[in-house]
Amino acid sequence: MKKLHIVSNRLPFSIDFNDNDPVLTPSVGGLATGMNSVYKDFNGSWIGWSGIASDTIEESKLKTIDTMLQKEGCVPVHLSATEIEEFYEGFCNNTIWPLFHYFAQYVDFHPEYWESYVAVNQIFADKILEIVEDDDYLWVHDYQLMLVPQMVKSKRPDITIGFFLHIPFPSYEIFRILPWRKQLLNGLLGADLIGFHTYDYERHFLSSVRRLFGYEIDFNEIHINERILLADAFPMGIDYKKFADETRRIHNTPVKDRSEIHLELEKYFLMDPERKLILSIDRLDYSKGIPNRLRAFERFLESNPEYLGKVTLIMLAVPSRNNVIHYQRLKRQVEELVGSINGLYGNINYTPVWYFYRSMPFQNLVELYSMCDVALITPVRDGMNLVAKEYVASRIHQNGVIILSEMAGVVKEMGEAIVINPNDEKEVEEAILQALEMEPEEQKTRMISIQERLQRYNVFKWARDFVDMLQRVNRMQKDFLAKKITPQLSNDIIARYKKTTNRAIFLDYDGTLMGFKNNPQEVQPDAELNQIIDDLTANPHNSITIISGRDKETLGRWFEGKNVNLICEHGVWLRRAKGEWQMLTNTSNSWMPMIRPILESYVDRTPGTFIEEKNYSLVWHFRRAEAELGELRAKELRNELTEMIANHNLEIMEGNKVIEVKTGGIDKGSAANNFLKNMTPDFIMAIGDDWTDEYLFSALPESAVTVKVGIKHTNAIYKVETVEAVRKFLRNIANA
């Protein structure tokens, strides 16, 4: 890798003014920590916005800030106050954020916000294009910059691009609501690797890609023409050691030197050592489920009066997006709830909820983490939730209990927490009681398991893993390029071809000579293909064979009168040029009445699918079915058929959006060798696109020129990306 650059909406510094002089303060957030560990190692820059509107500050000051940032390896992107309002507060925070967190009722669909989103993404892309050098890597972060990957890729395909989404990717049913869903998705597909916190988000993303674009998806690989890209889950970690070390430091500090908040908490426990503290920390955001949490706590106090005076909820809310109406309402709602609980259950010596509406220095945060018995984390949606991880890292004595929402990404790594549905206030209430009464031994067992996991998969490992995977994708793509028929290779093959006089050329039909259509009967050869075949067969040194899984009637009709050989149904039938059909193997179709009803039941249950009956095989086509349902049914059908055919000489073949059942022992490889028996060719070539052609590639002698259409793994020696590329290659051969 040459250089790795980081791109995020905000640079990892905040800018303050000391007597009118700008001062940079490094961010201590998880992302900054994780990224610092990689981009400096790879000599890159960090591209982003400084946090200051460029038109609200004197030009000279802006320049000073830029210079200071550049010294830190940053490349500042300038955004005006209007851009920030429309792009950031508008589209990012009023459209994507609520939609991706399933708050469809809060979503604003303003076209001007969208336009500003496009324009600002372009500003970022332009800045990137200014600084990237050949073969650099980029790691783009989060929902503010979803169009950047495609904007960069379209101009600079040599740049390897990773994208990480820090928020959930919603289910297709939610995502489809967005008028600009296709543009957004297309923007992301410019990346080579797209990372999510959890497999669920990855699944939702792939499902949207499948449904909106119909691209071929093979596990987590997306195939777009000659590009392979990967989607994967990388659960973001924290700087575990930093939290654990800080806790140890605080524990070793003499009481008199401890912070004010620490002393306050000490006093609280002095009044009654049996007292318990529950901690709640979030940005004040509607996705965090703060009102539900307060209501559940209120219910708990109501149902368990013996805990009155003994349990306090410390609620820390970090001010966030307070110029957005929904956030202002939420703030009021939270304050009212806190007031009402404290009014109802508090007294001179007891305040049930300690509410802080502010940010806190790192040390105070850790003090709270390490002194609270229970962490109550109940978001209604949360991409990951790092607070839960920070709490765990600060529990150096392995005690403490976490109550965790099943809607937070982090729950996948914390099965040992008490997992709740945040909308079920009764369940949360009961969880609070369970947490407060949990035996220390059980607390320890649960905590140790989580700690071991989080210690291992910390933010550094997370960042490294992502970068390693990005390099792997790059290698996969290079692998393809290594086999790709370049103009030079094409010339070499043609030079070999020209020296020979007895040539056998095998060409698969669908996906090789013709693109796919929904109806397999609609794909008869077009004028261009007919011309190519005529030109190739006009040369008396060439024996051209179309070798296909298709039935003999269709291919026979399409190539009637042409000087080509046809091998059909994967090798059951052969018709030499101008000859009669002959059967290459003895086969029977007596099994068909047994298998046909099964396929029919799949047609009935899967709209858009149909059965094709060939002489010696039955094919279930699902190209026209709704993509995911088609894949799912194909899996079911394969399982069902596998059991059925166990004692019969039958085979199941999976082609491109088809499942075919046919008599065993017939394949394109044996058929080609059978065909070659009467020939002593000095040049053999085979071109095909799906795995049935792999039999052909493997069966032919090593000297054969074997060519795979597409980017998947193959036994062929060469690859070309598309049907168009095959045709161009064949035209060059015919004209040689």
Q: Among residue numbers 108 through 147, which ones bind ligand ADQ (CB under 6 A)?
A: none
Which of 12, 22, 30, 422 touches ligand ADQ (CB under 6 A)? 30
For 80, 303, 426, the CA distances from 308, given in Å and listed in that order, are: 52, 10, 18
- Judged by phi (left if over 0) then psi (alpha if -120 to 50, else beta), residue 135 lies in left
Strand order in the sheet with 374-377: 353-357, 311-318, 276-283, 374-377, 401-405, 418-420
Per CB under 6 A, contacts with ligand ADQ among 150-169 are 166-167
Q: Give the three-class secondary structure for 507.
A: strand
Question: Looking at 239, 282, 285, 508, which residue is catalytic?
Answer: 508
Stretch binding ligand ADQ (CB under 6 A), from 383-391, 412-420, 531-539, 577-585 = 383-391
Minimum distance of ligand ADQ from residue 103's CB (angstroms): 13
385 binds ligand ADQ (CB under 6 A): yes
Strand ranges (E), 219-260: 221-224, 227-233
Q: Minimal CA–CA distance to 274: which of 315, 314, 313, 311?
A: 311
Alpha-carbon dihedral angle through residues 513, 518, 520, 522, given to the nearest 10 degrees: -80
Comparison of 236 and 261: residue with beta carbon closer to ligand ADQ: 236
Residues 291 and 304: their CA atoms lie apart, in Å, by 20
Question: Residue 347 has what DSSP assignment?
Answer: B
Paired tokens of 22: 């700008």
Among 136, 382, 425, 694, binds ligand ADQ (CB under 6 A): 382
Distance CA 563, CA 536 (A): 9
Cβ distance to ligand ADQ smaller for residue 387 or 699 = 387
Q: Is 534 a catalytic residue?
A: no
Residue 590 has, within 13 A of its CA and on its CB side, a CA count of 5
> If binding is defined by CB under 6 A, does position 390 make contact with ligand ADQ?
yes
Please give the Cα distance from 27 to 206 (Å, whole number).
33
From candidates 57, 360, 419, 476, binder to ligand ADQ by CB under 6 A = 360
Using CB under 6 A as the binding rule, whether residue 206 contacts ligand ADQ is answered as no
Q: Report the largest interatomic distance among the alpha carbons of the chain, rounded to a whole angstrom.
A: 105
With 0-12 / 13-18 / 19 or more C-beta atoms within 10 angstroms meaning exposed / middle / buried, residue 103 is middle
Q: Identify the residue among 120, 281, 435, 705 touching ligand ADQ (CB under 6 A).
A: 281
Candidate list 61, 211, 258, 283; residue touching ligand ADQ; CB under 6 A: 283
> Residue count at the site for ligand ADQ (CB under 6 A)?
19
Among residues 191, 217, 244, 384, which is the contact residue for ligand ADQ, using CB under 6 A?
Answer: 384
Question: Least distance to ligand ADQ from the beta carbon of 585, Å?
Answer: 59
Pick from 68, 212, 318, 476: which binds ligand ADQ (CB under 6 A)?
318
Nearer to ligand ADQ, 31 or 74 (CB): 31
The nearest distance, CB 409 to ligand ADQ, in angstroms, is 6
User: Quick one: which segment of 34-42, 382-390, 528-536, 648-656 binds ligand ADQ (CB under 6 A)?
Assistant: 382-390
- Least Cβ distance, residue 719 to ligand ADQ (angstroms): 37
In the list 77, 92, 316, 699, the residue contacting ligand ADQ (rule: CB under 6 A) is: 316
Residues in the chain: 736
Choices 110-118, 358-366, 464-472, 517-525 (CB under 6 A): range interacting with ligand ADQ: 358-366
* Residue among 166 and 657 whose Cβ is closer to ligand ADQ: 166
Asked whether 123 and 117 are in contact (CB, 8 A), the reply is no
Identify residue 181 by its one-letter amino acid code. R
Give the Cα separation of 236 and 197 in Å (integer): 6
Strands (E), 57-123: 74-77
Nearest CB to ligand ADQ, comparing residues 43 and 359: 359
Interaction residues for ligand ADQ, span 167-186 (CB under 6 A): 167
Q: Compute the Cα dihedral for 42, 48, 54, 56 and give only its sign.
A: negative
Annotated active-site positions, please?
508
Residues engaged in binding ligand ADQ (CB under 6 A): 29-30, 166-167, 236, 281, 283, 316, 318, 359-360, 365, 382-387, 390
